[in-house]
Amino acid sequence: MKTKKIKLIATDIDGTIMDRSFECSPGVKNCIKKLTKEGIKVVLATGRMHVAAAPVAKQLGLDTPVISYQGGLIKQQDGATLYERNLDTSAAAEIIRWAKGNNIHLNLYMEDKLYAERDTEAIRRYTCERSVPYSICELDKIELKNVNKILAIDFKDIQRVTSWVNYLRENFPQLYIIKSSPYFCEISNPEATKAYAVEFLRQRWGIEKDEVLTIGDQDNDIELLKAGGISVAMGNATENLKSCADYITDTVDNDGFVQACLALVEGAC
């Protein structure tokens, strides 16, 4: 079931090429190596901060730009910024006040640095899993400047996270609000989406939409799938994402990324 020759693959990281142990399998690594050798551009498109995504690109031997913050930032491997869409500071301040008044843990990302109000289990678990440093401070007392995004976290009550998404969408319709995992509510600029970022790179490289394959596993990848000429949902994807996909592959534990590439990309095998 090969399509028109694919020139660009934009892939999510966590739950797509990286498993629950935050590892890329040998099969994924070998597949990406073969794809790049064939001249296919493989781009990571993630909700992670850039400092947590760039090492994954390096580990995979990629020299393409990295899409981070759901599409709010695109940086080349040399650190040069190609695209940036930050969160409105007045909206960010209002959300920080709302979270503090409702005992909601927030990760605040500014200039690719991570800040939190308290040194809680949530921030320790999040940063340990992604190997990123963080600073503790009173979020409502620091100068907000170049806010990449805000992430609200609850690792214990996923229904609470859903309620935040609903509340914020109703009260901040001008922002991009998405549940990027059962535990994460992401808040960012409306043009900080994976679709905008992939479109930017596609046009920069002169690649047609039907030459792009996109693949992911969570609702924040709905925008990513929209940017592909062929869209793929992982077998472990949300039902929302699967309903948006052209093709559903196997799970991340069974190298679903690799299986999708073998089935759909000329030169992958």
pLDDT at 126: 82
Instruction: Collect all residues with Cβ–Cβ distance below 8 Å to 102 and sequence separation of at least 6.
Output: none
Q: Considering the domain boundaries, does residue 3 fall inside one?
A: no
pLDDT at 125: 87
pLDDT at 118: 87
Q: Considering the domain boundaries, does residue 2 fall inside one?
A: no
Same domain, 93 and 211: no
Same domain, 143 and 197: no
Spacing of C-alpha 7 from chain mean position: 21
Helices (H) and strands (E) counted in the chain, each on its own, are: 9, 14
d(CA 2, CA 20): 30
Q: Which residues form the domain of 117?
A: 89-188
Helices (H), 41-141: 50-59, 89-101, 121-130
Domain tally for the chain? Answer: 2
Q: Considering the domain boundaries, does residue 99 fall inside one?
A: yes
pLDDT at 3: 53
Write the CATH number for 12: 3.40.50.1000
pLDDT at 215: 98
pLDDT at 269: 59
d(CA 255, CA 261): 10
pLDDT less than 70: residues of the chain: 1-4, 269
d(CA 105, CA 116): 8
For 143, the 3-state DSSP assignment is coil
Per-residue model confidence as pLDDT tens digits over 150-192: 999 999 999 999 999 999 999 999 999 999 889 999 999 999 9
pLDDT at 201: 98
Write the CATH number for 102: 3.30.1240.10
Query: How many CB atoms sit inside 10 A of residue 197's CB?
Result: 30
pLDDT at 105: 94
